[in-house]
Amino acid sequence: MVSASVVRGTAVTAALMSLLAVPAHAAPLEPGTTRAGAPAPDVTGLWNDLRAAQRSGAPGAMARLEDRDTVHWAAVGVADRKTGRALSNSDRFRIGSITKVFSAVVLLQLAEEKKLTLDAPVDRYLPGLLPDKSITVRHVLSHRSGLYDYTNDMFARTVPGFEAVRKKVFTYRQLVNRSLAKPRTTKPGGAYSYSNTNFVVAGMLIEKLTGHPVATEYRDRIIEPLMLTDTFYVHPGTKIPGRYARGYLTPDTAGAALVDATEQTASWAQSAGAVISSTRDLNTFLSALLGGRLTSRTQLAQMQRWVPAGSTQAYGLGLRRRDLSCGVSVYGHTGAVQGYYSYAFASKDGKRSLAAVATASNNGTLHNTMLRTLESAFCGKPSKRARPAATPVERHDDIAPDNKLSFDE
């Protein structure tokens, strides 16, 4: 049985569809619950979260929620401010640091193939790259290497910093060298300290151990096996293939016009943040990962060896855990790349997943507004969950603590 409902608005403001497919033999559900006994998602709340994101400065925002046999999707606003084309969940976008999960999966598969040891020093595989031979692969993947995040300086001024690198093509080593010019933030194995440099090193490891570009490994190990038809790594190409949402960068000066940041090499990010995807593909990817389809149980358990990363967060190996107000934990990653804030999280078994994006960045209120989509998707209606504690607006979720600007998470 398939039923559909549509809420219509103007082309600029909204389009919402909820699709339901339940096997004919399925027993009826108790009101307000799912088959797993978790709170039913608050679809209306999710819709309201997206509308709030639009009011907070995003030209558009969208989300896709998959809960076993049920799919809900919502999109508000425009994909292109010039043409006024309405945003759709079929639009592709830059996913920022959700790319890190792709990189981590490839390295864990290589560990399973005995081509990599997580607790071996990076120097074993990339001799002479790092000055400290005690930095291990595990330290890199869990942001405990102490390697300074080179993007702190690269984007110290948001729009000028972006325009300076928009068309540039960097080598991995050039990016690592920018990091090594600065003091390290912690001793190897110390406290979590987010740094894009770590996942540049991860990309170098992938290419050294396989002899292939990261694009090939993403394709052969993840994209093609999962049939992710909207997912691409086009570096150093600047265009998003097919139908896509344009992304807009918020200048540091209050009230200044948004800057269209869609076309860029994303070379400053590469294996730390250059993948392009869609809400559908991100849900498929995370559900497959947490459902044990991309790694062995042993390697998935390694990804979930958590270290503290804030009061309501923990970090594993390229995977983030967020602890929600209702006591539920969700697993995935956030991403910020110029023009886009993206969110991809799933339940521990991968059977409920949410992917969402807002098409603006460098806007702390917008970022925190979009984080509410996790509460709506996994905790249900507010009456069914505890009221979250008031928290200060954070402009970033996953970056080094001394950085005040938004670039990639």
Q: How far apart are CA 406 and CA 409, in angstroms?
A: 8
For residue 205 the two structure tokens come to 């490891």
Q: Which residues participate in catalysis according to the annotation?
A: 97
Question: Phi, psi at residue 314, to the nearest 5°?
Answer: -145, 160
The answer to whether 147 and 202 have CB atoms below 8 angstroms apart is: no
Among 312, 242, 251, 248, which residue's Cα sits nearest to residue 277?
242
Beta carbons within 8 Å of 172's beta carbon, 6+ residues apart: 200, 201, 203, 204, 207, 270, 271
CA separation (Å) from 48 to 32, 42, 106, 402? 19, 10, 36, 32
The runs of H, that is alpha helices, within 148-278 are 151-154, 158-165, 172-180, 196-210, 214-218
Q: How far apart are CA 77 and CA 338, in angstroms?
A: 18
Q: Is 222 helix (H, G, I), strand (E, B) or coil?
A: helix
Q: How far apart are CA 74 and CA 59, in angstroms?
A: 14
Cα-based angle 48, 392, 46 (whole degrees, multiple of 5): 15
Q: How far apart are CA 131 and CA 16, in angstroms?
A: 53
Q: How far apart are CA 374 and CA 381, in angstroms?
A: 12
